[in-house]
Amino acid sequence: MQSNLFVHITIDRRSTVDYNEQIKESIKALILDQTFYYKTLLPSPKMIAIHLNIDYKYAKLAYDQLIQERYIRKIEDDQYEVSYFELTNYFFDRNVAIYDAIIALGLTPSIKCVEKKVVTLSIDEQKYMGFNPKENSKYFYINRLYLGNMQPIMILENYLPMTIFPEIDQNFVGDEPLNAYLDQHYNIKAKLSHRTTQAVNLTSALAKYLNERKNAASICSTNRVYDQNQVLIDFGRSHTISSYYFQALISKEEISEYYISR
């Protein structure tokens, strides 16, 4: 299978661009246009060097840079696979559970509960989250890691008011999908999620959970979830190093609107 991949990786000997840069860009382009998809086993740097008739150091350097940029990862001695993936447009216009988005990627999802406890939030914290602030209000806090084929994909912490979800701390185990649980046990449906996203550097604690280096870039999404009665039921904050789950399609109508409304 690996040998078939060779035909895609090419270099231009007349170019002024270094061989390692050419190999890196060639593989990166193949990953981004999904010729090489998640978990594709790549030819080893040695095989690339023989195939392209170049010094091994160029192929190795290209692979090291691709690892640094998180497009590939080393799985064993001289074995590399594609680690880049995009959580698709499942999240763009529908409030779909992360669990389902992981299935859509073709991976087996699982959830690992990192921490769960009851906390008392200050008035300022409650205001920031958007809750109606009250002194000594108790919230159920959960911090969970979402995995696909046992690889960490996203870490998500949630704050749920105990006034809306009494005894949730005693009954919610932590490894089950949250929205389905809230629907089944409290008849409360997560109808609307208001999300604000930023690119941020990972703290060392988050990096450890996501199996990444400290300061690796991640997408941080702050989510405020409302139920069928427009009541804020959940404040969440997630971090993922994956490409963003909005693969936004902007329609012709929106472009026309832009031309007209300016």
List of residues contacting another protein (CB under 8 A)? 12, 15, 22, 25-26, 28-30, 32-33, 69, 86, 91-96, 189-201, 215-219, 241, 243-244, 246-252, 254-255, 258-259, 262
Taking the least distance from each CB to another protein, the nearer of 79 and 211 is 211
Best CA proximity match to 240, nearest among 210, 203, 196, 195: 210
Q: For residues 144 and 111, is the Cβ–Cβ distance under 8 A? A: yes
Identify whether the C-beta of residue 220 lies closer than 8 Å to the C-beta of residue 198.
yes
Phi, psi of 256 (to 5 degrees): -60, -45
The residue (of 108 and 228) whose beta carbon lies closer to another protein is: 228
Residue 119 Cβ vs another protein, minimum distance, rounded to whole Å: 26
Q: What is the C-alpha to C-alpha distance for residues 204 and 217, in angstroms, rounded to an integer?
A: 12
Supply 106's token pair.
Answer: 């073709």
Q: Pick the closest to residue 45 from 29, 64, 31, 30 (CA basis).
A: 64
C-alpha R_g of the chain: 22
Phi/psi of residue 160, each to 5°?
Answer: -120, 130
Closer residue to another protein in complex, CB, 15/79: 15
In this complex, which beta carbon is closest to another protein, that of residue 81 or of residue 86? Answer: 86
Q: How far is the CB of 15 from another protein (least distance, A)?
A: 8
Beta carbon of residue 136, minimum distance to another protein (angstroms, whole number):
27
Nearest-10 Cα torsion for 151, 149, 85, 82? 80
In the bound state with another protein, the residue whose beta carbon lies nearer, of 27 and 111, is 27
User: Least distance to another protein from the beta carbon of 118, Å?
Assistant: 27
Minimum Å distance from CB 103 to another protein?
A: 15
